[in-house]
Amino acid sequence: MFDIVLYQPEIPPNTGNILRLAANSGCRLNLVKPLGFSITEAAVRRAGMDYAELAEVVVHENWTDCLSTLAGRRIFALSTRGRIRHDSVAYQPGDVFLFGPETSGLPEAVLAEIPSAQRLRLPMVPGNRSINLSNTVAILVFEAWRQNDFAGGA
């Protein structure tokens, strides 16, 4: 239904948790290299081991390859620098959700490729840095899925 894109993820347990979320929500998980770990790393396997075979995972060599694969689809970037609240968008099947590395977020050059109306943020208490990546992905995926009446879910 939706695609999740992790741009150069760094922390294996986050990716494992997101893999599990993708399997349980019917999303495809896209990983953009370079990755900060091996996909076979124990922490990724441990977090998503009983769901790995249920999720579709695509590994892209770079951002350009990922964009080419997802051409023609709406891409929403999640960033603390986004100006649009995540719950103010009407999501559609086929939408793509882009997230940056845990320690730095999306690079400005990548974020600049996304229209400003598609740069989203989650509300949070002022002065805090960010919400954990796997939590952020879960919040957005479930909001988009809720808006689509949890299509494909039981």
Binding residues: 78, 100, 122, 130
Tokens 């299509």: give the residue. 151
Other C-beta atoms closer than 10 Å to the C-beta of 120 total: 22
Is it the case that residue 72 has pLDDT exceeding 70? yes
Q: Is residue 153 part of a domain?
A: no
What pLDDT, on a 0 to 100 scale, did the predictor assign at position 23?
92
Query: Contact at 8 Å (CB) between 140 and 2?
Result: no
> What number of H helices and E strands is found in the chain?
5, 7
Binding residues for S-adenosyl-L-methionine: 78, 100, 122, 130
Is it the case that residue 41 has pLDDT exceeding 60? no
Q: Is residue 70 part of a domain?
A: yes
Predicted model pTM: 0.93
Residue 79 belongs to domain spanning: 3-148
Predicted confidence band of residue 22 (pLDDT cuts 50, 70, 90): very high
Q: In 3D, which of 114, 122, 112, 113 has the Cα closest to residue 144?
A: 122
pLDDT more than 70, % of the chain? 92
- Judge if the upstream peptide bond of residue 34 is cis by omega within 30 degrees of 0: yes
How far apart, in whole angstroms, are the C-alpha atoms of residue 63 and residue 68? 9
Q: What is the pLDDT of residues 84-139, one digit of tens each?
A: 999 999 999 999 999 999 999 999 999 999 999 999 999 999 988 889 999 999 99
Tell me, what CATH number does 105's domain have? 3.40.1280.10
Total of domains in the chain: 1
Q: Is residue 30 part of a domain?
A: yes
